[in-house]
Structure 1
Amino acid sequence: MSEARGVQRTYLLLTLLSTLAASFIWGINTLFLLDAGLSNTEAFAANAFFTGGQVLFEIPTGVVADTWGRRASYLLGTATLLVSTLLYVAMWRVHAPMWGWAIASILLGLGFTFFSGATEAWLVDALTFSGARDTLESVLARGQTMAGVAMLTGSVMGGVVAQMTDLGMPYVLRSVLLGVTLAVAFVSMKDLGFTPERGKSPLEMVRAVVRGSLDQGLRNPPARWLMLAAPFSMGVSMFTFYALQPYLLQLYGDTRAFWISGLAAAIVAGCEIVAGLLAPHVRKLFSRRTHGLLVATALGVGCLALIGGTTHFWVAIAALVVSALSQSATRPMRQAYLNGVIPSGQRATVLSFDNLMGSAGGVVVQPALGRVADVAGYASAYVVSAAIQAVSLPFLVLARREQAPSDHIEGEE
């Protein structure tokens, strides 16, 4: 059991470091892009190029995870994020043209695709191999709490640092933390319970990954409906999170109060912490995981509409808290449901494909909503976001009808 505890410690430490590094810029990223000379449409187009990079590289990096190993994929992702973050800083200083931001954003997307699927697959296989007694859902909930602590700390510090220095300094601090993450992962992360599949050509592996994604993903009904819901829910969440930065400043009445942007990200992080702690209790409120997902999504739709419909800063903050709590509390349910309907051999592949589906939605949704914000304002963009997210509800109903074994909570230890 000591090996299982070691796996959990490594997972939680890497979650802490990587989220802390990433969150230094989450509170001010949109302001950073606008300060670099981009319009709202261009800023969210840069974010769309980021998610486009995720779509483009999800399958090739899934091949890396399944051939070179999950550890190798994680190390490559950290190194890529480090380089592309420094590139962001350099372009901000020279007010680079849009094509430069497009390239750098695609590289950032590449870095995160090395993480997606591989990290969670590493955890699941290593826990199974080491005979862990804790359920996957409980470990994921602890990871979410750790991520919330890191996000709370990083987003507040990022906003304060930007207020005291400039909007580029949080990116420099992010680069330093990514270097620390790279060193820790190199020393402590080991592939357990998984043997990389070697001997095939890269093209053969890509074909195998595509087949696995289709067979265990879109052709697997319980997984299919969750994946088809992802473009509408995840695509909207990317926009609404980053749009909070300038929109809350607008509602607050001071466009230079960068700490407000950090506060918004900190609220989301605080909700992550609380939801992670409450997750074991929240799951007892539902007999099935899809029930929890439906309730959380419906609450999210209503909160987005309220954020767009109000002119009061604190009403928007209250709606943000309710939305963030409901989404965070049910995220482990979604992960447990999906992991329960895919086999170990294709886990990294299918999880990466699930992320790809969400990223594909972001490629279309973010620039479209950015254009709405340019033409009609952020309030209108949030109302449109609510309508788009509502489209995911029918897919969750279809997932519920599949009666998947991992959907049922009653009777689980």
Structure 2
Amino acid sequence: MLTRWLPTVSKPFRLAPYLGLLSLSYLSLGVTIPAMSLIVISKGFSLSRLSLAMIVFSLSVMAFEVPSGIYADAKGRRKSFALGLVLSLIGTLLLFSSSYLLLCAGFACTGIGRAYASGSLDALMIERGQRAGKKLEDIVFALDVNSGISLSVGSLLGGLLLSLGAQLDNLTSLVLLVRVFLVALSLLLLFLLIPKETQTPEEAFTFKAQANALVSALSSSPFLLAFSLSVLVQGVLLASLEGYWQPYLKQLLVSDSQLWILGLISASVFAVSVLGSMMGKRLLSHMRPPLVYCLAFAGIFALQLMLSRSHTIIQFLLFYELIYLLLGVVSVVGMYLLNKKASDAVRTSLVSVSSFCLQTGGLLANLLATVVFLGGGISRYWVITALGGLGMISILSVWLLQRTPRT
């Protein structure tokens, strides 16, 4: 069986097939971003039903995030990505239904599919790229920029499809049809473009053995533990910003005629974060990566404090855009640090742990918001999360700087 795949695996490694396939995957996710809530609301269900469907989706992703990473490392990253696409395809087909139970089942399937697909092909590309002599910083930079551009284009396409769907009986039917096409095309191209992984019997791990390897990697590395906690802090930050910047800015507008500014900011944030990724890649060769990571993180929370005290649109724009500039730096440097420390045997598992921590941080941020909003507003909420974030990063930086992997 091994010789059957030798001609395929021996081909020169190229980034383009991996980036192209990942781009299609992100496009399929991006088209649904403007339509997620409308999939439920447009079929006559209440906001409370929408909230429950979103909870089903979030819990499905969280529940399978780490197990899917372990599965990818144990059974194959290509296989995990394929499984994720199949589940996403089934889940999207269920979202055409007008039955609330089937809609929830669709959200659950797409959530599980997202867990199995996320990080698996990225890890395979990083592993094969490094073996082919590519620089890690170049690979993670390409991944970061590719995902940002694809999600942005997908979101714009989703908005256009919604406007076209408004003329049909089903508002979200075109969005879902395009998503089905993109996911199915991704599945087809996966088998055509990405060589199959070959594992000898000695290399194949059981799920339990792979889980033990992950636990061993985390418990033996203070750096990985500190990094995972920093990702949790990042999850709190992102949820506190992305969930509440629109109502905060709306209060600063003179009238609703200026609401176009919200769309302008949403579009500009992408460009700024890509610029931040470029800055981060350049800084990797001039400064210690963990120092860049910690300083950028601290700068973000300092800017969030300033954002909470902004009283004009110009002030808000300045601080908000600078935050996303530094988030671009944190993203590419963080990916570099994690993959520099991670061994091939547990690479996808560690990426899944990071994703789980990011989502856990988002959940904690929303729980904190429900408490803070009982006696305060968004400004106080941002002050609390910023001060807490600065404190946590100050503590974690001790471990991150002392236990950093050699570059």
Scaled by the length of structure 2, the TM-score of the pair is: 0.80
- Aligned equivalents of 1:359 and 1:9: distance in 2? 29
Aligned to 1:179: 184
Aligned to 1:155: 155
Counterparts of 1:236-247 in structure 2, within 5 Å, are: 236-244=237-245
Preserved CA contact (<8 Å) 2:93 2:106: no
Q: Which runs of 5+ in 2 are unaligned?
A: 1-8
- Aligned equivalents of 2:141 and 2:307: distance in 1? 27
Shift of 1:397: 0.9
Structure of higher RCO (CA pairs closer than 8 Å, 6+ residues apart): 1
Listed one character per residue, the Cα deviations across residues 63-113 of structure 1 (whole Å, up to 9, x for unaligned) are 43134311111112123223334545646xx7x5xx887655443331222
Scaled by the length of structure 1, the TM-score of the pair is: 0.79
* 2:269 is aligned with 1:268: yes
Name whichever of 151-160 and 372-381 sits farther off: 372-381
Listed one character per residue, the Cα deviations across residues 97-152 of structure 1 (whole Å, up to 9, x for unaligned) are xx8876554433312221234223211221234x23x3111111122222222233
- Aligned equivalents of 2:41 and 2:380: distance in 1? 20
Q: 1:211 to 1:219 in 2, by over 3 A?
A: same
CA-based RMSD = 3.7
Aligned to 1:12: 19
Preserved CA contact (<8 Å) 1:86 1:175: yes
Aligned to 1:213: 214
Code of the residue aligned with 2:256 in structure 1: it is D
Q: 1:150 to 1:62 in 2, by over 3 A?
A: closer
Shift of 1:228: 1.7
* 2:366 is aligned with 1:366: yes
- Aligned equivalents of 1:346 and 1:124: distance in 2? 13
Q: 1:303 to 1:207 in 2, by over 3 A?
A: same
Identical counterparts, % of pairs: 20
Aligned to 2:145: 145
Q: 1:402 to 1:193 in 2, by over 3 A?
A: farther
- Aligned equivalents of 1:391 and 1:52: distance in 2? 29
- Aligned equivalents of 1:236 and 1:34: distance in 2? 28
Code of the residue aligned with 2:185 in structure 1: it is V
Counterparts of 1:67-146 in structure 2, within 5 Å, are: 67-88=74-95, 90=97, 96=100, 104-129=106-131, 131-132=132-133, 134-146=134-146
Q: 1:161 to 1:302 in 2, by over 3 A?
A: farther
Shift of 1:187: 1.8
- Aligned equivalents of 2:12 and 2:165: distance in 1? 43
Q: 1:218 to 1:324 in 2, by over 3 A?
A: farther
Name whichever of 239-248 and 73-82 sits farther off: 239-248
Shift of 1:199: 7.2
Preserved CA contact (<8 Å) 2:296 2:326: yes
- Aligned equivalents of 2:388 and 2:51: distance in 1? 17
- Aligned equivalents of 1:237 and 1:177: distance in 2? 28
Aligned to 2:233: 232
Preserved CA contact (<8 Å) 1:268 1:321: yes
Aligned to 1:405: 405
